């Protein structure tokens, strides 16, 4: 990370874990460790746990996020939740384009773009996920895949929005939930190419100000060396974010 230019963001993605009661408990356990000015702490929780998490995090530095949002403000979209509804609830962050949504729920680069745009229009901050499949890495097309995903998602997004309200999370799909972490060098290489793309699309200044996280089996043991890389500005953490102790250690590593 480059602290002079960017504040690291440590975000937990709880995925489909922790209903309201468990959310209240875990936010409470994380609270004492989140009182740091060294990084921004975000917890992305299931929709049904948003209110409990917001209440439990009130008065602390912890920001609460959702894990997806629809691209329309309202309408006949059974089972969906709009960015405007999240805004109304007081939710500041939303994850868009997570690989599990791309893999299991038909998310495409087009819908990722539309959801990103809707979230920004509603005034939310977006954690935009990109990353290659194992087969794509083995075929040597990681750079092309990640560049394309990022470029399509950010079409029509302004430099100011990217700098202030978009966090890009590089999450190699083969590293998610597998215990296989990208090496710090592998992760930094892709984060650096995303930053170079931002410079190409916007400017060197915007690239320097854009927060780019790494996600994929980040945990208390490996966070330090990943976060020491110059282009890794935080993490999007799945499994390890379900343990207050492990998540606290990652917050500490980012605040060091
Ligand atoms: P894991 O940390 O469990 O590998 O999950 C990463 C992830 O998908 C975060 O969004």
Atom 5 of ligand 1, residue of closest alpha carbon: 238
Catalytic, 70? Answer no
* Number of the ligand 1 atom closest to the C-alpha atom of 129: 10
Residue 143 has a pLDDT of: 98
| CA 200–ligand 1 middle distance (angstroms) | 29
pLDDT in tens, 20-32: 999 999 999 999 9
Atom 7 in ligand 1: residue holding the nearest Cα: 238
Q: Are 237 and 22 contacting, i.e. CB atoms less than 8 angstroms apart?
A: no
Q: What is the mean pLDDT of the chain?
A: 96
Give the pLDDT score at 151. 98
Answering whether pTM is above 0.95, one says yes
Residue 177 has pLDDT above 90, yes or no: no
What is the mean predicted confidence (pLDDT) over 129-154? 97
- Average pLDDT for 64-69: 98
pLDDT band at 40 (very low <50, low <70, confident <90, very high): very high
Banded model confidence at residue 243, pLDDT cuts 50, 70, 90: very high
Residue 129 is predicted with a pLDDT of 98
The pLDDT score that the predictor gives to residue 183 is 95
Residue 59: pLDDT band (50, 70, 90) is very high
Choose the residue to mutate in 68, 133, 176, 218 for probing ligand 1, maximizing ligand atoms within 8 Å of C-beta: 176
pLDDT of residue 2: 78
State residue 90's pLDDT score: 98
Ligand 1 nearest-atom number relative to CA 236 = 9
Measured from the CA of 44, which atom of ligand 1 is nearest? Answer: 10
How far apart are the CA of 215 and the centre of ligand 1, in A? 6
**Mutation to probe ligand 1, out of 12, 15, 182 (largest number of atoms < 8 A from CB):** 15
Q: Where does the chain have alpha helices with state H?
A: 20-30, 50-57, 83-89, 99-104, 109-121, 134-138, 142-153, 159-165, 184-201, 204-209, 223-227, 244-255
- Confidence band of 121 (pLDDT split at 50, 70, 90): very high
Ligand 1 pocket: which residues have CB below 6 Å?
A: 13, 98, 171, 176-177, 215-218, 236-240
pLDDT class for 181, splitting at 50, 70, 90?
confident
Catalytic site residue 155? no
CATH number of 11-255: 3.20.20.70
Q: Are strands 63-66 and 9-13 parallel, antiparallel or unpaired?
A: unpaired
Over the stretch 184-199, which tens digit does the pLDDT of each residue have?
999 999 999 999 999 9
Phi, psi angles (nearest 5°) of residue 167 = -110, 130
- Cα–Cα distances in angstroms (integers) from residue 252 to residues 109, 211, 223, 233, 255, in the given order: 34, 18, 9, 14, 5
**What's the pLDDT at 37?**
76
pLDDT of residue 117: 98
| pLDDT band, residue 209 (cuts 50/70/90) | very high
């Amino acid at each position: 990370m480059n602290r002079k230019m960017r504040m690291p963001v440590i975000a937990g993605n709880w995925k489909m874990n922790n209903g309201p009661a468990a959310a209240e408990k875990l936010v409470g356990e994380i609270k004492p460790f989140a009182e740091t000015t060294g990084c921004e702490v975000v917890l992305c929780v299931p929709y049904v746990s948003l209110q409990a998490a917001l209440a439990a995090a009130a008065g602390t530095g912890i920001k609460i996020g959702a894990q997806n949002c629809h691209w329309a403000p309202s309408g006949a979209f059974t089972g969906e939740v709009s960015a405007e509804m999240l805004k109304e609830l007081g939710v500041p962050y939303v994850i868009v384009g997570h690989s599990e949504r791309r893999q299991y729920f038909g998310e495409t680069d087009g819908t990722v773009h539309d959801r990103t745009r809707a979230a920004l229009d509603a005034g939310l901050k977006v954690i935009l996920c990109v990353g290659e499949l194992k087969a794509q890495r083995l075929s040597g097309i990681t750079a092309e895949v990640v560049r394309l995903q990022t470029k399509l998602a950010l079409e029509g997004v302004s430099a100011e929005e990217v700098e202030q309200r978009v966090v890009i999370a590089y999450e190699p799909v083969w590293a998610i939930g597998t215990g296989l972490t990208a090496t710090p060098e592998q992760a930094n290489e892709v984060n650096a190419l995303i930053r170079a793309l931002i410079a190409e699309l916007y400017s060197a200044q915007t690239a320097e100000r854009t927060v780019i996280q790494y996600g994929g089996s980040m945990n208390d043991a490996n966070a330090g060396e990943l976060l020491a890389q110059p282009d890794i500005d935080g993490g999007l953490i799945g499994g390890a974010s379900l343990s207050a102790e492990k998540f606290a250690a990652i917050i500490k590593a980012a605040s060091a």
